[in-house]
Amino acid sequence: MKVRYQYRIYPTSQQVKGLNQLFGCCRVVYNDALAIVRSVPQGEKWPSNAELQKLVITQAKKTAERKWLADVSVVPLQQSVQALGAAFKNFFESRSGKRKGSKVGFPRFKKKLNQQSARFVRTGFSLKGNKLELAKLGRFKVKWSRPLPSEPSSVTIIRNTAGQYHASFVVEIGSINIEPLRPSIGVDLGIKTFAFLSTGDRVESPGYNRLDRKTRRFQRKLARQVKGSKRRAKTRLRLAKLKLKTANIRKDFLHKTTTQLIHENQVVVLEDLAVKNMLGNRKLARAISEQGWGTARTMCEAKANMVNDREVRIISRWEPTSQICSDCGFRWGKVALSVRSILCVSCGTEHDRDGNAAKNIEKSGLGLTQDSK
């Protein structure tokens, strides 16, 4: 299977200028191709990827307005047009129902201040010792945090909003064999505690409060400053670095947590949470978005495919996991969120609300009845 390995790169000042020029060319080619497609009258056939490449790259280089496209490698420019084709494919498959997940919107024009990227295939890059060589850009210093498992088929150079540069390699890996410690586990995701496991263990999320307060303060400061001013640009960069730090902490925590769940359990059972609907609650929206429940589910499903004999099962969001005693199956009905401990009037067992839900999630995922007796 194909996976991505991402590394930090450190370009020189001259290479930064070259990368910025490349990102600008890729963005212009993408936007030009999208403008051509949008200008096609309704009912007429859209141009193919090959035709778009001829129009926005080959013929555009011969004009005075776009002659600077010849200063960069043609490989990432061609990949930009292919990326637009993939965006349209995702859009139409999402509309027809072939693509799962949330609906994908119609492709939009790329902006200069957003994250920038340029993709190179094998004809545009090579590995020379410990350095990465890109066509017309030279060799780059790479921070190799781990070795590549195989020869990469492509590399994407990324510049995030905080001004950092990364190289993302696509490599082929095989499945790994790890003996599980348990046959199954149920996971109840929450806000105060990130996850309560059916084994009785809790997984606490890292604290984001301090970074969140600083982020909101800089957001207010940014809103007051004049657009286009140097002070606003400086504040925007500091805000981007704060958000990146929060995202990195969350990503590191989710990777470690999901890896442990997949490696130690043969079957991981999760709830199908309607996160998008939950974010409509303005009192809990910030706390819910900080947890990254959707990302955790995606990571679990991806890592289950990387390990042999692993499975992630998703139960319906309408399962009454918090309304049933995991011991005797007695149903007590809905209980307010403020109630964290429940005493079953049938068997006399006192349950932690989340721990009881995690056990019921595991039973539902395994196809067992709620009444274990």
Q: Which residues are catalytic?
A: 188, 271, 354
Strand partners, 342: 351
Cα–Cα nearest to 187, from 296, 33, 320, 334? 296
Cα–Cα nearest to 272, from 339, 370, 161, 187? 187
CA distance 326 to 164: 49
Residue 128, SS3 per DSSP: strand
CA distance 185 to 363: 9
Q: What is the DSSP letter of 56?
A: I
* Element spanning 170, H or E: strand 165-172
Integer distance in angstroms from the first to the last C-alpha of the chain? 43
Task: Report yes or no: 185 and 198 within 8 Å, Cβ to Cβ.
Answer: yes
Tokens of 251: 């990503």
Cα–Cα nearest to 260, from 210, 309, 296, 217? 296
Q: Phi then psi for 38, rounded to 5 degrees?
A: -70, -20
